[in-house]
Structures are given as C-alpha cells and as structure tokens.
Amino acid sequence: MTETCEDGNLLSGDGCSSSCITEPGWICTSVVGPPEFSTCTPICGDGLNVYGEGCDDGILDGKGCKDDCTGPYNGYICGGGTPTTAMTCAG
C-alpha cells in the first residue's frame, strides 16, 4: 500500500493514520517525509465531525452549523456526528 501522508507519528485520528493513509474527513499535503511532514486539516462541510471541528452537518447553507465548522449557529442545537457519521442539527 502506498503512503498518502506522513505526519511523523503513529497515531490515528489526526488525519494521517498509523499506516500513513489519509483518514476520511481530512485532507493532507503530499508526502514529503523528514525533515518535513504532511499537514492534515479537517474538511469542513463534508458531514464528518472530526477532531478540530466544532460542528459539521454536511450542509453549508447558513443553518445548523456555521459555514466554517466552528460551532452551531445561534438557536440551533447540534449533536451526534463522528469521524464516520454525520451530525444533525435542529433549530
């Protein structure tokens, strides 16, 4: 299997898995290896609530979660959501 990221650790859940594969809900820079490593950031608006996102319901429509995924809009309550399931919001 070909590496798609290299973040310099063997932890999963930070965008680059322990086997150096980009995890769902993340985008990582290409593998460059030491002394430089991949940078992984959550994909806002994909519906997967991964580490670093306060709220991601998968809908960038100004309702439910903020369009920058930092949290819910005022008046909305959002819950659930994991790295593999979507968050839901009600307002």
Domain identity same for 33 and 51: no
Q: What's the distance, CA 45 to chain centroid?
A: 9
Both structure tokens of 3: 């590496």
Domain identity same for 32 and 58: no
Domain that holds residue 80: 45-91
Residue 1 has pLDDT above 90, yes or no: no
Domain identity same for 4 and 29: yes
Mean pLDDT across the chain: 88
Q: Which residues are CB-contacts of 14 (< 8 A; sequence separation ≥ 6)?
A: 7, 40, 51
Domain identity same for 56 and 77: yes
Domain identity same for 35 and 65: no
What pLDDT is stored for residue 32 in this prediction? 66
- Buried/exposed 62-72: b ≥16 CB within 10 Å, e otherwise: eebbbeebeeb
Give the total number of structural domains in the chain: 2
Domain identity same for 15 and 52: no
Domain identity same for 54 and 14: no
DSSP state of 85: S
